[in-house]
Amino acid sequence: MKDSRLTMRDLPAIDRLLEVIITYPELGELPHQIIVDKLRAVVGEARNQLRQKQTVDISVESLVTKARRELLALGTCSLRKVVNATGVVLHTNLGRAPLGKNAVRMVQDIMSGYNTLEYNVATGERGSRYDHVVNKLCALTGAEDALVVNNNAAAVLLVLSGLAQGREVIVSRGQLVEIGGSFRVPDVLKQSGALLVEVGTTNKTHLSDYQEAINENTAVLLKVHTSNYRIVGYAGQPDMKELVTLAHSHGLPVVDDLGSGTLVSVEADGWNEPTVAACLTAGIDVVTFSGDKLLGGGQAGIIAGKKQYITMLKKHPLLRAIRIDKLSLAALEGTLIDYLTGNVYNNIPVQRMLKRRPEELREQACQLEKMLKDLTLYGWHIDVIPLASQAGGGTLPEIDFKSFGVSIIAAGKSAAVLEKELRKNSIPIIARIQTEKILFDVRCLDFDDMEVIKKACFRMVKGAIK
């Protein structure tokens, strides 16, 4: 019925479509009204297309198929597990840090029943959700006190609102950054009600620049981790300790948005990211960092530092609006326990993946190559190749972690087509394309992931995936 002479009057009646669609048993559990609404929407869309003189198939079969597909999608999860073959450990679009087993167990145990979220079992009275992780965070960072909120963006907003509303915050021009997902330092400052005072230049800011900007209306000297980019060449910022000394000589706090923040040192390619503890030891008064970047937990924003400031923040009315939820809190506590019990590299996936050595990765790539070997019988090319993985998530930019992977050229299929088919797998496989090849970096893959890749590829040669 693909006929441009069709008119509105040829559109099937909703009742007719309904008769057909309810013969599909898998829609049986959906509320009747939802089915009817969907049919109306599909017919409405076809009507619009006809009105615009577009060619449209308005057969009962075609309209029912469309409605059925959309209705079936309602009953399936859109948020799904994927295989991350990109080698990017903290892939923001792929959910950042995967949780460790311990953290997952905590989340499962605690969420399936009632819990002590805001209950103090010792006294039988109301407790605080913030207390659960304070001692653990203080032990791991050397902070006097800590507070956790929804995410790091919220943490920065709270700190600036609490410590600098209506007053000036001095920031180096080299640190007025934008992090993916619309976190922009000048905008967050504006939202907090603090006034931004920019000092220095894009590449260089001197201690004297801060010194000259300090006046009686200054509230905070703010440092921001440049996270997703690096200024190289003729560039520099004052030493952390000098900045702290300057601020303290004026009775001012230094706040450092560490972005990722790491509890253990991460070394790669000659780069050494200072730990949260090192920043606090250098005298930084308040730091903020994410729970789901290098820390490897769930989404959270952690504020740690001097008690006098954290106490002020705990009383701030904004806190209620940005509070952490029980799922993330359980994930965070479970992850912190792994740090405290010396199980960092065994239990925390992000830390384990970043630590993996090239020799081990090469061995795994060889294993994957072996699993895919029979594809060569169908004319595919499979090779083990050296790769460079990234930490991702706006952490450790431009730093390559030496890795290995498998490159694939499929017979009679462009890399773009293969990439798309991998994405359409029942467990989507996310891979990179480079010079007409598909690359599977093995850094973030476990054995099950490799099985998924194997099955998907072999199904393709048997033509099951269209």
Ligand X SMILES: *Cc1c(COP(=O)(O)O)cnc(C)c1O
Give me the phi and psi of 208, to 5 degrees please.
Answer: -65, -25
| Closest separation in Å from C-beta 168 to ligand X | 20
Alpha-carbon gap, residue 322 to 132, rounded angstroms:
17
Q: According to DSSP H, which parts of 250-385 are helical?
A: 276-281, 307-314, 326-340, 344-347, 349-355, 358-372
Give 301 or 334: the residue with its C-beta nearer to ligand X: 301
| Closest separation in Å from C-beta 179 to ligand X | 4
Residue facing ligand X at closest CB distance: 259
Tell me how far CA of residue 242 lies from CA of 235, 275, 300, in angstroms: 17, 18, 30
Give 56 or 159: the residue with its C-beta nearer to ligand X: 159
Give 84 or 152: the residue with its C-beta nearer to ligand X: 152
Site residues for ligand X per CB under 6 A: 151-153, 156, 179, 183, 224-225, 227, 257, 259-260, 290, 301, 394
| Closest separation in Å from C-beta 185 to ligand X | 8
Give 294 or 431: the residue with its C-beta nearer to ligand X: 294
Give 171 or 224: the residue with its C-beta nearer to ligand X: 224
Give me the phi and psi of 40, to 5 degrees please.
Answer: -60, -40
| Closest separation in Å from C-beta 276 to ligand X | 13
Give 222 or 452: the residue with its C-beta nearer to ligand X: 222
The radius of gyration of the chain from alpha carbons, rounded to an integer in Å, stands at: 27
Angle at which helix 152-164 crosses helix 185-192, to 10 degrees, equals 50
Residue 259 near residue 294 (C-beta atoms within 8 A):
no
Give 39 or 254: the residue with its C-beta nearer to ligand X: 254
Give 183 or 339: the residue with its C-beta nearer to ligand X: 183
| Closest separation in Å from C-beta 95 to ligand X | 12
- Which residue has tokens 């000394």? 245
Give 280 or 457: the residue with its C-beta nearer to ligand X: 280
Residue 313 near residue 175 (C-beta atoms within 8 A):
no
| Closest separation in Å from C-beta 350 to ligand X | 14
Give 151 or 390: the residue with its C-beta nearer to ligand X: 151
Q: What does the angle CA 251 – CA 253 – CA 259 come to, to the nearest 5 degrees?
A: 170
Instruction: Compute how many other C-beta atoms are within 10 angstroms of the C-beta atom of residue 84.
Output: 24
Residue 401 near residue 442 (C-beta atoms within 8 A):
no
| Closest separation in Å from C-beta 432 to ligand X | 22
Tell me how far CA of residue 184 lies from CA of 113, 191, 335, in angstroms: 39, 11, 28
At a CB cut-off of 8 Å and minimum separation 6, what does 437 contact? 407, 408, 409, 415
| Closest separation in Å from C-beta 335 to ligand X | 14
Give 256 or 369: the residue with its C-beta nearer to ligand X: 256
Amino acid making up residue 114: Y
| Closest separation in Å from C-beta 150 to ligand X | 8
Can you point out the beta strands (E) in 185-276? Answer: 195-199, 218-224, 254-259, 266-268, 271-273
Give 61 or 325: the residue with its C-beta nearer to ligand X: 325
Residue 146 near residue 302 (C-beta atoms within 8 A):
yes
| H or E segment and range at residue 183 | strand 183-184
Alpha-carbon gap, residue 261 to 88, rounded angstroms:
18
What proportions of the chain, in percent to the nearest 5, are helix, strand and coil?
45, 20, 35
Give me the phi and psi of 3, to 5 degrees please.
Answer: -135, 120
| Closest separation in Å from C-beta 271 to ligand X | 16
| Closest separation in Å from C-beta 291 to ligand X | 7
Residue 177 near residue 203 (C-beta atoms within 8 A):
no
| Closest separation in Å from C-beta 298 to ligand X | 10
Q: And the tokens for 297?
A: 């937990």
Alpha-carbon gap, residue 306 to 40, rounded angstroms:
60
